[in-house]
Structure 1
């Protein structure tokens, strides 16, 4: 009994030694942005929320510049009336110019900060990150709006999963390259929207995927999608909206010399909307065949693009290594261009939606 009492007293004393931060006495940073302002200088933008009773959330932005990422927050502190704290940060946005040069040092700084969780969202902005964070977000504030924008499109649409933890895993992996969502500010309306994916080779952006290609990429990268795709049917000049409810992908190594793999992609869904008069079995069959051919063409186009850039955002290298002990991952990037991928699509339309 004395042993447990002693342990309790020690814990009580130690808890009193922990540095406390009263919320009313600090400024909680909810989102940040980083932009390249000179060849060797970075500008950081921190969004701070202010709350007034019965009033919408109000954002204000504090900026700081430095050649070292670790000094940016210190420079921001000099402009803040209260201490800046990163404990509530939800998203970090990297400006396009900075992302094209490289963000590995900044990401390394983020992962070393104990106040930042692994589920922190990351994104690349078209244009300056500060401009995106200063957009019009109605009553939500920048952090809530952009975070919800990414999470909603990840869970219910075609955006693949991304966060700090996944980015770091892909970054340090020798058999996969990272990717992050692109977000773009509409200069006319002031709003912000998803604008495809930024593709990295090692530490910098080298390519991109458009919104129209996201569904096909997510099938490869996530093996599951709830996306919607509009399909043109050439036989009757109608269109069908396909809602995917499940998908899977299986990869099989055919040979290492020459390097060849088979990728089976299966999507099950239903026709959510159809411009024709009636959805018949013949229409469903046509939709399946046209969608299979579309998938094959689009996925082949993606792999051709990846081979040109010598990148592997899908993680083919990791999967080949898991199936073959003879495969050498160290020279995978140099072997990417010689990869042959045989796509085997399978589309099953299980329902025709509520229209029928």
Structure 2
């Protein structure tokens, strides 16, 4: 009996050791951490690959390879011809697209992301203001690894609610669902060879149709997501004499808020004439306001709350109007219509004709929960 048990254990161990998975020895592979794609000449694609160079004799831990091909898959194959290590994408953290590549509609976002099973659904995606190749070739003493730097920049800004979440999982969901379009963060190269988050790109299907600044991207996240702990400077557009003539280097009245908490709700209130209502409730701590108004006075605080509500409402209405003019439904109005109207048989073509004429009513409720050291 003991002998039979020993034979069974030995056989099981042998089977486990003889698995069919292809072995990948670390010192024989190159781990790609970041990939960038641009439009090339004569219908080709330009690819830039940032990888970890696993070589104890090398002084550099990062290698950057440029490749060109008529297909996206061919970019990595051609890059393999330039290195002694076989490139793998199992450690890929960021995918970047050059602006012209998305603007010309030469490539849709989704197909490229689903072609490699080794790429994680949690990989970040972004658009570059200009060429992805130029951004990935940034040379700066404080950025020894451009791939890791971009990943950490996107990760911390996403977690702090400064940047919309743009993992492959999120982008593919918005890309394939009828009635919602994806957004991508925009990264830009600074003059001092740094990298900065500049706003968001909006799409109609998989084609770039417009760009929004960071102020506008805040409102997209406010509508589409819940804030649990955010920070933001709000520009107050007010006719009140108490809130005019901001102090400092600008004549704009700005209120600095943190500990922002919010929730939003979008309702279809008229399916025949296509009318929606967006209700946003948020609260936050006001740390500073660059106006001589006395925030210790309860009446002044009520005035500030009222004017912030008005300013936010106006900014959101302008944002929605701009997105409608570009036929980009980044808020998911179409998805709400499809789920609310039985037998709608909604198609992309049908929805885009309806969306640009939809009426959207915006309600904003804002409360200052405390005022820093003035409590």
TM-score normalised per structure 2: 0.87
Partner of residue 85 from structure 1, selected from 85, 88, 91: 88
Partner of residue 173 from structure 2, selected from 152, 169, 173: 169
Are the aligned partners of 1:196 and 1:211 in contact in 2 as well (CA < 8 Å)? yes
Are the aligned partners of 1:119 and 1:163 in contact in 2 as well (CA < 8 Å)? yes
Q: Distance in 2 between matches of 1:266 and 1:140?
A: 43
- Counterpart position of 2:249: none
Q: Which one has the largest radius of gyration?
A: 2
* Structure 2 stretches lacking a partner, 5+ long: 247-253
Q: Distance in 1 between matches of 2:129 and 2:343?
A: 42
Verify: 1:192 aligned to 2:189, yes or no.
no
Q: 1:134 to 1:104 in 2, by over 3 A?
A: same
Q: 1:257 to 1:56 in 2, by over 3 A?
A: farther
Verify: 1:287 aligned to 2:290, yes or no.
no
Q: 1:204 to 1:314 in 2, by over 3 A?
A: same
Partner of residue 41 from structure 1, selected from 14, 29, 44: 44
- Counterpart position of 2:369: 350
SS at match of 2:23: coil
Q: Distance in 2 between matches of 1:57 and 1:189?
A: 22
Deviations 1:153-192 (A, max 9, x none): 1111431111111111111111100110000001x20101
SS at match of 2:362: strand
Are the aligned partners of 2:293 and 2:300 in contact in 1 as well (CA < 8 Å)? no
Q: Distance in 2 between matches of 1:77 and 1:282?
A: 68
Are the aligned partners of 1:96 and 1:128 in contact in 2 as well (CA < 8 Å)? yes
Deviations 1:64-104 (A, max 9, x none): 11111111111111111211111111101101110112365
Verify: 1:112 aligned to 2:122, yes or no.
no
- Counterpart position of 1:235: 241
Q: Distance in 1 between matches of 2:184 and 2:106?
A: 12
Structure 1 stretches of 4+ moved >4 Å? 1-7, 55-58, 103-106
Q: 1:51 to 1:190 in 2, by over 3 A?
A: farther
Partner of residue 319 from structure 1, selected from 336, 340, 359: 336
Q: Distance in 2 between matches of 1:89 and 1:160?
A: 20
Q: 1:324 to 1:117 in 2, by over 3 A?
A: same
- Counterpart position of 1:149: 153
Q: 1:86 to 1:220 in 2, by over 3 A?
A: same
SS at match of 1:38: coil
Are the aligned partners of 1:96 and 1:127 in contact in 2 as well (CA < 8 Å)? yes
Deviation (angstroms), 1:39: 4.8
SS at match of 1:109: helix
- Counterpart position of 2:251: none
Q: Distance in 1 between matches of 2:174 and 2:168?
A: 10
Verify: 1:133 aligned to 2:152, yes or no.
no
Partner of residue 182 from structure 2, selected from 178, 185, 201: 178
Partner of residue 309 from structure 1, selected from 321, 326, 330: 326
- Counterpart position of 1:255: 270
* Structure 1 stretches lacking a partner, 5+ long: none
TM-score normalised per structure 1: 0.91
Are the aligned partners of 2:102 and 2:108 in contact in 1 as well (CA < 8 Å)? no
- Counterpart position of 1:297: 314
Q: Distance in 1 between matches of 2:105 and 2:9?
A: 54
Q: 1:346 to 1:77 in 2, by over 3 A?
A: same
Q: 1:79 to 1:268 in 2, by over 3 A?
A: same
Q: Distance in 1 between matches of 2:266 and 2:115?
A: 35
